[in-house]
């Protein structure tokens, strides 16, 4: 991948991430998951993620992934955006990790690349890992995209997650947003001062330097944000204008989640 492409990818990704995280547009859509009480959604989705992580059978993992896709459609999320920002990224990272397993797992050779043999067992392990990660990442992403961040934090708090962890998560969220904003500003500022094209080596050197500066800048800004939150009385406890209230639909969803998790857990053993 050329550094120019890398720079464009990082910029595009950071812009999209910034927009998604800051505006929480998808969390305010009138979709299936958005209509659920955040506590029900949190517990249900986490249980499904755990089931996906523990499942050993490929059809069960594929079914959980397919369920994630259906839920995304029912929650009015763009499948194209999910594919670009979630599935492809998860696939790329997991494939990198799973790649050696193709050759290192002992078993029956099904294909040869040079002197290395891809084994059937290796291919199955790699496929299992990729599917498991895709299913788990899809379900977690659905939870984050369909729930306003502060609602999610409050839901975690009602599940007795300590105040310190909540404060840390609140900070992390703003930190990521700042990171993307700062990254955009730095890329644009660099672009405005560049004449001609840099060669690959120079591009990579610039990217590494930018990464370092970006990290220290956002750390500083993140700290400022936390001070600003403290200055207005934030003590780690999440407070909202709306109180959570379970409705009929939430009880149906609870039963649905329970049935799915039990079925997947039994079938996935």
Does residue 89 belong to the site contacting other proteins (CB under 8 A)? no
Q: Return phi, psi of residue 53, to 5°.
A: -70, -30
| Cβ atoms of 53 and 132 closer than 8 Å | yes
Choosing from 65, 149, 187, 257, the residue that interacts with other proteins (CB under 8 A) is 149
For residues 235-264, which are near other proteins according to CB under 8 A? 235, 239-241
Does residue 213 belong to the site contacting other proteins (CB under 8 A)? no
Does residue 107 belong to the site contacting other proteins (CB under 8 A)? no
How many whole angstroms separate alpha carbon 55 and alpha carbon 32?
26
Does residue 201 belong to the site contacting other proteins (CB under 8 A)? no
Q: Which residue is it, tokens 């009015």?
A: 76
Binders of other proteins: how many residues, by CB under 8 A? Answer: 26
Q: 24 or 29: whose CB is closer to other proteins?
A: 24
Choosing from 46, 150, 166, 254, the residue that interacts with other proteins (CB under 8 A) is 150
Does residue 148 belong to the site contacting other proteins (CB under 8 A)? yes
Q: 87 or 187: whose CB is closer to other proteins?
A: 187
CB of 224 to other proteins, least distance (A): 4
- Which residues contact other proteins by CB under 8 A? 18, 22-24, 148-150, 174, 177-178, 181, 221, 224-225, 227-235, 239-241
């Amino acid at each position: 991948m050329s550094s120019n492409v890398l720079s464009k990818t990082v910029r595009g990704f950071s812009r999209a991430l910034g927009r998604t995280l800051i505006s929480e547009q998808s969390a305010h859509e009138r979709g299936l998951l958005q209509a659920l009480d955040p506590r029900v959604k949190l517990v249900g989705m986490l249980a499904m993620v755990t089931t996906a992580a523990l499942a050993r059978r490929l059809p069960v993992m594929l079914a959980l992934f397919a369920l994630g896709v259906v839920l995304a459609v029912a929650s009015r999320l763009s499948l194209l955006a999910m594919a670009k920002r979630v599935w492809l990224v998860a696939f790329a990272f997991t494939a990198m990790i799973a790649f050696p397993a193709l050759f290192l797992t002992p078993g029956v050779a099904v294909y040869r690349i040079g002197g290395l043999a891809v084994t059937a067992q290796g291919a199955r392990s790699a496929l299992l890992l990729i599917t498991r990660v895709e299913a788990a990442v899809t379900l977690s992403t659905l939870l984050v995209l369909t729930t306003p961040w502060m609602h999610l934090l409050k839901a975690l708090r009602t599940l007795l997650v300590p105040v310190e962890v909540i404060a840390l998560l609140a900070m992390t969220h703003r930190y990521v947003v700042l990171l993307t904003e700062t990254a955009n500003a730095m890329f644009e500022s660099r672009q405005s001062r560049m004449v001609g094209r840099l060669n690959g080596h120079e591009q990579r050197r610039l990217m590494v330097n930018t990464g370092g500066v970006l990290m220290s800048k956002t750390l500083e800004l993140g700290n400022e944000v936390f001070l600003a939150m403290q200055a207005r009385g934030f003590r780690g406890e999440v407070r909202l204008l709306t109180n959570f209230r379970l409705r009929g639909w939430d009880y149906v969803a609870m039963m649905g989640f329970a049935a799915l998790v039990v079925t997947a857990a039994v079938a996935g053993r």
